[in-house]
Amino acid sequence: MSWLIVTLFYTAWYIMPSMESQMLTYYKITPEEYTRIFFSPYLLAGIFAIPGGMLGDRYGFRVVCSIATYLAGILLVLRTFVHGFLHLFTLVALTGISLGFLVANLPKLVSLWFPPEEYGLASGIYVSGMAIGPAVGLGLGGLFSSWNIASLLIGGTVLGSATIWTILGKMPSPAEELSKDTLVEGMKKAIRSRSIWGTAIGSSAWLAGLVTLLALLPSGLQSVYGIPKSNAGILASLISGSGIIGNFIFPMLSDRIGRVNPVVTLCAIGGAFAIFLGWMFASTFYIWIFLIIGGMLEGGVPPLLLEVPAAIPYLENPDYSVESVAGASGLVISFFNASVFFLPSFIIVPLFYPHFTLIFFVACLLLSLPAITQLMIREIGVKAPSVPASSE
């Protein structure tokens, strides 16, 4: 049920690009205003992930996720009835609060429902919703001729899922006996963790690199290599599409070998190298092969990194408990989302545009950065060497 809610949220968000022309007419906004509207949830998701995680520690993820889903559904329905840039921007941006609350609490759900040896697969399932949702949204948009009908339908579906979650969602029996951390204590424990900071920095760099690629690769392929617009879009989608496969394969590989960090290194460096080769060989058939391989490898990075907050109670550190997971993941998700808002828009594009080869080189460097930041992260695999808690 949690996976379905995440998938529906991203579906509701990414139905917008495929219906951009209808939105421009319906709301009387410009393409530049539409772009700001589309990316606005990332900023508030980054800001509210930390308090969302802390509230999850205090009141439990079931309560927090129910409220977040209801809020998202209401905002998605209301966006149908407003007019003009400011009103639409406000409503869409506010959905970022729900996103921050939902995603920050998913690692806690994983830590409560699954044993450590199954964290990889469980995280892969949740992360796949963040890839499947956009794919479904982009596909659904072409089936609607009217934006208001599409917006009402998807908003109502999210509201319905919130009701089902409230009725059917439940905590596993061990969670009912857990004491609740205070809001401040949950964050204090996360801030003291070198592993959490390594995860936050690595995941934020990775997502900024990925969004830069997906946003600029189609236009780069058109302007540099003369590839038609339709084909350029398909080529860019290969990265995210094949990444869904990586969401499952590499967490399962990690679970099988009992190690996480070596798999992160393989996926981050190998995927970035393959994607950049795809750009360099874009005029040949090899671009298809390189982008599929690169996307599949990079798809293994986010679920493996998001295992770290879920594994905190098993790191043999007495300062941590299951109740602290949401606070730790809130810190990670804040960096994760804020990076998308700031790095591409205020650093990468202003400094390097329109030099696409340099832009994609920087983006691939960001994709590979988790291979370095994982050195800060204590190995959490079931076959990890035993080390003193103080090393954390």
Residue 347 φ/ψ, nearest 5 degrees: -125, -60
pLDDT digits (tens, 9 = 90+) for 146-185: 888 988 998 999 999 888 877 776 554 444 444 444 555 6
pLDDT cut 70: percent of the chain above it: 78
- Domains located in the chain, CATH noted: 2-181 (1.20.1250.20), 191-382 (1.20.1250.20)
Q: Are 110 and 309 in contact (CB under 8 A)?
A: no
What's the CA gap between 324 and 377, in Å, rounded?
A: 17
pLDDT of residue 316: 45
Give residue 176's pLDDT: 43
Residue 174 has a pLDDT of 44
Beta-carbon count within 10 A of 179 CB: 7
Which residues make Cβ contacts (< 8 Å) with residue 361, sequence separation at least 6?
276
When comparing pLDDT for 219 and 352, which is higher?
Answer: 352
Grade residue 109 by pLDDT with cuts at 50, 70 and 90. low
DSSP string, 289-345: HHHHHHHHHHTTHHHHHTHHHHTGGGSS-TT--GGGHHHHHHHHHHHHHHHHHHIII
What pTM was computed for the model? 0.72
Residue 236: pLDDT band with limits 50, 70, 90: confident
What are the pLDDT digits (tens) for 245-258? 998 899 889 888 88
Residue 141's identity, in one-letter code, is G
pLDDT > 60? residue 384 = no
pLDDT level of residue 320 (50, 70, 90 thresholds): low
Degrees, nearest 5: CA angle 173-174-178: 120
